[in-house]
Amino acid sequence: METVFLAFIFLAALFLAYANGANDNFKGVATLYGSNTTNYKRALIWATLTTALGSLMTLYLASELIIVFKGKGLVPENIIQMQNFPLAVGIGAALTVMLATFLNLPVSTTHALIGALAGAGWIASETGIHWETLSRAYFLPLVAGPLLSLALAFIIYPLFKNLRKKLKIEQETCFCIGKKVIMTAPSHAVTKEGFISNSPESITFPEAVITNQAYCRSSYSGQVAGVSARSLLDGLHYLSSGLVCFSRGLNDTPKIVALLLIGSRFDLNLSILIVGIAMVTGGLIHSKRIAVTMGRKVTEMNPGQAFTANLVTGIMVLGASRIGVPVSTTHVSCGSIFGIGAANKKINLKILSHILLAWVTTLPIGFILGLTLMTVMGY
């Protein structure tokens, strides 16, 4: 019987890791895609590689989070050691995240996990859960994270913008077909149609090519220390996106691995490897929905704005992972993007309201599912 439970716990953890990858893997590179710095396929490959590296580094840089997400301090120890406890938590959290993914909403796996932990622990324990621990150690960092990232992005982006102007780097818009830059113009000429109607007669634009491969993207002209500003910023944008994905893998992997380690049922190194593989697999198969929402619908971004959002997100999540603070990569990343949108006074309020509603309901849904599953399985 114990072997059957172990198999189900293993599958539940894989399901949660897969759901996490489907909802989260692309978030770090959403700005690369949204700013047309690269296409969806290349962005996804970069996200997959850097997320996998972050997952593998869990043992060395984020071991504290494994302890936090075993439920220690939140749920009585005798409940944690029940065989069906990690099973109820894993399935409850995974169902919550997958539901949000199919609704195209970027939600927090951290919130879903905490909700399921609290729900399963509350129904199974005669003394309930430690609400003070829930609010202080779990809930407070999850609320503070996006607010802090929003504020930092809102403050830092104008500083970078002023620095760019002092370096005499001008913003421009280029019209591209595939990888080839056809022509550039000042940023006020921003539409593909505008380029076509004002282009020299010597330039022809085959309609089939324009329809399928042509696009406009914001860029920069000028040089920094003899290096093209456009190339330099694209490189920094790639690195900052990789930092976000690395931080996300580092931050989320230990939370899921913790389910497999409750009661010391599975080997730590093998658990990290398996969870990492499941996460990147989910991202490879189901990332497109979240890519469109975060990359294109929340707010329009140029490469400079996208770099700022990624830099804030990557540093915050990496720092929190290192000291064992359970922040949500999703919330921090969205907070940074919201901050950029607020600084530019360009933000899709309808999409923002949908995302905020999803955030508010993630923890309660996880709680209800964890409670329900724990009840059905018996305790």
Q: Are 299 and 344 in contact (CB under 8 A)?
A: yes
Specify the 3-state DSSP secondary structure of 185.
Answer: strand
Can you tell me which residue has the tokens 């220390």? Answer: 225
pLDDT in tens, 48-57: 999 999 998 9
Scan for tokens 């931050």, then name that residue.
251
pLDDT for res 263: 62
State which amino acid sits at residue 308.
T
Residue 373 CA: distances (Å) to CA of 73, 90, 148, 263: 22, 10, 35, 20
What pLDDT is stored for residue 210 in this prediction? 44
pTM of the model: 0.77
Decide if 43 contacts 244 (C-beta within 8 A).
Answer: no
92-101, 139-148, 200-209, 328-337, range with greatest mean pLDDT: 92-101
Contacting residues for 251 by C-beta, under 8 A, at least 6 apart: 54, 62, 65, 317, 320, 321, 327, 329
Q: 90, 16 in Cβ contact below 8 A? A: yes
144-153, 157-166, 197-206, 315-324: the lowest-pLDDT one: 197-206
Instruction: Return the structure tokens found at 130.
Output: 């430690």
Contact predicate 298/347, CB 8 Å: yes
Single-letter amino acid code for the residue at 25: N
pLDDT at 183: 56
Supply the pLDDT for residue 187: 54
Alpha carbon distance 115, 136 (integer Å): 15
- Amino acid (one-letter) located at 321: S
Measured distance CA(332)–CA(20) in Å, rounded? 16
Identify the residue with better confidence: 240 or 63: 240
Q: 82-96, 200-214, 277-291, 340-354 — which one is most confidently predicted on average?
A: 82-96
Cβ atoms of 262 and 81 closer than 8 Å: yes
More confident residue, 264 or 332: 332
When mean pLDDT is compared across 159-173, 286-300, 331-345, 360-374, the lowest value belongs to 286-300
Q: Give the residue-averaged pLDDT of 192-221.
A: 51
pLDDT of 206 strictly over 70: no
Statement: residue 173 has pLDDT above 80: no
Q: Give the residue-averaged pLDDT of 80-91.
A: 88
- Alpha carbon of residue 55 to chain centroid: 14
188: which 2 tokens? 């006020």
Domain ranges of the chain: 2-164+231-377, 170-221
Which has the minimum average pLDDT: 176-180, 271-275, 292-296? 176-180
Alpha-carbon dihedral sign for residues 238, 239, 244, 246: positive
Check residue 367 and give its pLDDT. 94
**The dihedral sign for the CA sequence 143, 144, 146, 150:** positive
C-alpha of 7 from chain center: 29
Q: What percent of the chain has pLDDT over 90?
A: 25
Q: What is the average pLDDT value for the chain, to the nearest integer?
A: 81
Q: Token pair of 373, please?
A: 């599953």
> Terminal CA-to-CA distance of the chain, rounded, Å?
15
Is pLDDT above 90 for 153? yes
Q: Is the pLDDT of residue 214 over 70?
A: no
As a whole number, mean pLDDT of residues 129-153 equals 84
Q: C-alpha 23: how far from its chain's center?
A: 8
Top-confidence residue, 229 or 20 = 20
**What is the distance between the alpha carbons of residues 283 and 249, in angstroms, rounded to a whole number?**
12
Are 333 and 244 in contact by the 8 Å Cβ rule? The answer is yes
Lowest mean pLDDT among 9-13, 21-25, 272-276, 287-291: 287-291
Tell the residue number behind the tokens 């849904």, with chain if given: 365
The larger pLDDT score, comparing residue 349 to residue 16, is at 16
Determine the 3-state secondary structure of 302 from DSSP: coil
Selected residue with higher pLDDT from 302 and 70: 302
State the pLDDT confidence band at 211, using cuts at 50, 70 and 90.
Answer: very low
Asked if pLDDT for residue 207 goes beyond 90, the answer is: no
- The answer to whether the Cα torsion of 93, 95, 99, 101 is positive or negative is positive
Contact 49, 29 (CB under 8 A): no
CA geometry: angle 284, 289, 292, nearest 5 deg = 110
User: Residues 6 or more apart from 344 whose CB is under 8 A from it?
Assistant: 299, 305
User: Which range has the worst mean pLDDT, 221-230, 273-282, 288-297?
Assistant: 288-297
Question: Residue 94: what pLDDT?
Answer: 93
Q: How many CB atoms lie within 10 A of CB 155?
A: 12
Q: Is residue 158 scored above 70 in pLDDT?
A: yes
CA 275 to chain centre: 17
